[in-house]
Amino acid sequence: MKKVVIFGAGVAGQDILGEIRKNRDLNLKVIGFLDDDPKVQNTNILKVKVLGGRQQFSQIINKRQIDEVIIAIPSAEGEQISEVVRLCSQAKVSFRIVPRVKEIIEGQAHLSTLRDVQVEDLLGRPVVKSDVQELKRFFASKKVMITGAAGSIGSELSRQISAYKPNKMIFFDWWENGLFELQIELTKDYPQLSSEYIIGNMQDTKKVKNVISRTKPDYIFHAAAYKHVPLMEDNPEEAVKNNIFGTLNVARAAVANKVKRFVIVSTDKAAHPVNVMGITKLVTEGIGKLLNGKTKFMAVRFGNVLGSYGSVIPIFKKQIEQGGPVTITDEHMTRFFMTIPEAAQLILKAASLGKGGELFVLDMGEPVKITDLAESLIRLSGLVPGRDIKIVFTGVRKGEKIEERLFSDSEQNLSHKSDRIYITQSLGLDLNKLKVSLPKLKQLSVTGQRTKIIAELKNLVFSFSR
């Protein structure tokens, strides 16, 4: 029989205890509770003793020969969960977690909901969720187009919007394999969905015009972009062609075909940009402001997305699987993080709230140290940082910031908050300057004049200091 302790003597922990008692065939024996509240320590709850808290953790695990810890503190801050994970890792004891409060739809903890701890649990924020009925009404009888539909954000948008039963979905991407896999998934999950899967590049002006004029979408979610900072530093002409003029192609076609709403997926790197990728995304926000009118343009800005293609989490996991080392550019580096579903929910919420011209930014709490994130991932793999897996600092790469910001100062001053979402205006560049710069950047990107492209970007955005 497996010996377990339940960390958390509250309602969730008591629910788990009750289920274990009812299901003898689970072969689990609850030895006791662990809880940091001194008022309950050394008391009995449902005839099970609260043995101690974090201070006594290692001693209890070793003395009682515990096989598994069930973490049942769904309302806890991420820092507290991280500490329990660290203690489990050091004690070499397996662990599972009760999902966070907002994930438990039934309002009750069940053994069937127990799962491995995920890095999302360590963020310390409940996931942002939208009003399902409101979004059903928003998408009812609407045609929706998603650019970059096969990417991390685009594919999650595709899944979530398809669930709201729109009239038709148009999935647009140049990535054949990704779009093929998305088609298989959505055809299986939503067999009644009217949809088109279109291979194409948003830099192809004629293709974009033809697709939008033929399908006549009501809403466009523009998630297509180049996003890797070091690569865009080395290839600024491609960043300009794709991120700026690809966006302009889609946006102009949207206006010409009376699309009702156009949502631009942006990034925190657009706030006081110091790299090519960030500045091109700031320009896309500016394009939305320039063209805003009968077609309502809005931008959604957020930080790093956990588990997205090319993000640090998959890279760290692969390095851990290979025995390390885990490589980090700088020990002081921090980033804002959110989950892929959370990012998609923010985008959908912005689309339904927007009146045109706004910038939406999630209140993402405190930034996370990349070193802490790496150490947590190592512990989630049942290993000890520094002993089993080394962490190596490699130096800041071209175009990287040590810390990101979500707003420029002027944007922050104008912002107001609605249900953990800031609503403000994108003010990082002069729109009159942008009108003058766009033709110049077009010509320079076509001819590949990198030095002049950088000079023009510097002229356009004062914070760009490359």
Between CA 303 and CA 9 the distance in angstroms is 35
Q: Is 45 within 8 Å of 9 (Cβ atoms)?
A: yes
Is the domain of 43 the same as that of 94? yes
**188 — alpha (psi -120 to 50), left (phi > 0) or beta?**
alpha
Task: Report helix, strand or coil for 140.
Answer: strand
At a CB cut-off of 8 Å and minimum separation 6, what does 110 contact?
15, 19
Q: Let me know if residue 456 belongs to a domain.
A: no
User: Which residues are marked as active site?
Assistant: 269
Structural domains of the chain, count: 2
Nearest to 54 by CA among 32, 17, 80, 76: 80
Nearest to 50 by CA among 100, 5, 108: 5
Task: Give the CATH number, domain containing residue 406.
Answer: 3.40.50.720
Is the domain of 89 the same as that of 190? no
Q: Residues of the chain with pLDDT > 90: what percent?
A: 52
Is the domain of 23 the same as that of 142? no
Picking from 83, 117, 151, the residue at the C-terminal end of a domain is 117
Supply the range of the domain harboring residue 417.
Answer: 132-424
Is the domain of 298 the same as that of 256? yes
**Per-residue model confidence as pLDDT tens digits over 382-435:** 788 888 999 999 998 777 778 777 666 666 656 666 666 788 887 778 899 999
Picking from 117, 152, 179, the residue at the C-terminal end of a domain is 117
Q: Let me know if residue 451 belongs to a domain.
A: no
Query: What residues form DSSP beta bridges with 7?
Result: 34, 71
Nearest to 207 by CA among 159, 147, 283, 154: 147
Task: Report helix, strand or coil for 423.
Answer: strand
Nearest to 229 by CA among 304, 300, 288: 304
Residue in this structure with the two tokens 């500016």, named with its chain if needed = 286
Which residue ranges in the chain fall short of pLDDT 50?
101-107
Q: Let me know if residue 297 belongs to a domain.
A: yes
Picking from 117, 140, 165, the residue at the C-terminal end of a domain is 117
Q: Let me know if residue 459 belongs to a domain.
A: no
Is the domain of 96 the same as that of 212? no
Q: Let me know if residue 466 belongs to a domain.
A: no
Q: Is 334 within 8 Å of 365 (Cβ atoms)?
A: no
Q: Let me know if residue 188 belongs to a domain.
A: yes
**Per-residue model confidence as pLDDT tens digits over 160-204:** 999 899 999 999 999 999 999 999 999 998 999 999 999 999 999
Nearest to 5 by CA among 54, 85, 49, 69: 69
Between CA 167 and CA 143 the distance in angstroms is 5
At a CB cut-off of 8 Å and minimum separation 6, what does 287 contact?
244, 247, 248, 251, 264, 297, 434
Is the domain of 197 the same as that of 276? yes
H or E stretch covering 16:
helix 11-22
Is the domain of 60 the same as that of 199? no
Query: 387: how many CB neighbours lie within 10 A of its CB?
Result: 9
Is the domain of 161 the same as that of 61? no
Between CA 145 and CA 368 the distance in angstroms is 34
- pLDDT number for residue 109: 54
- pLDDT number for residue 125: 55
Is the domain of 55 the same as that of 143? no
Cβ contacts of 369-373, under 8 Å, gap ≥ 24: 369/332, 369/333, 369/334, 370/312, 370/328, 370/329, 370/330, 370/333, 370/334, 370/335, 371/328, 371/331, 371/333, 372/82, 373/119, 373/122, 373/312, 373/313, 373/316, 373/337
Q: Let me know if residue 13 belongs to a domain.
A: yes
**416 — alpha (psi -120 to 50), left (phi > 0) or beta?**
beta
Query: What residues form DSSP beta bridges with 296?
Result: 261
Query: 418: how many CB neighbours lie within 10 A of its CB?
Result: 11
Is the domain of 70 the same as that of 212? no
Is the domain of 103 the same as that of 252? no
Is the domain of 153 the same as that of 107? no
Q: Let me know if residue 161 belongs to a domain.
A: yes
Q: Could you tell me the pTM of the whole model? A: 0.74
The string of DSSP codes covering 309-363 is TT-HHHHHHHHHHTT--EEES-TT-EE-EEEHHHHHHHHHHHHHH--SS-EEEE-
**Encoded amino acid at 12, one letter:** A
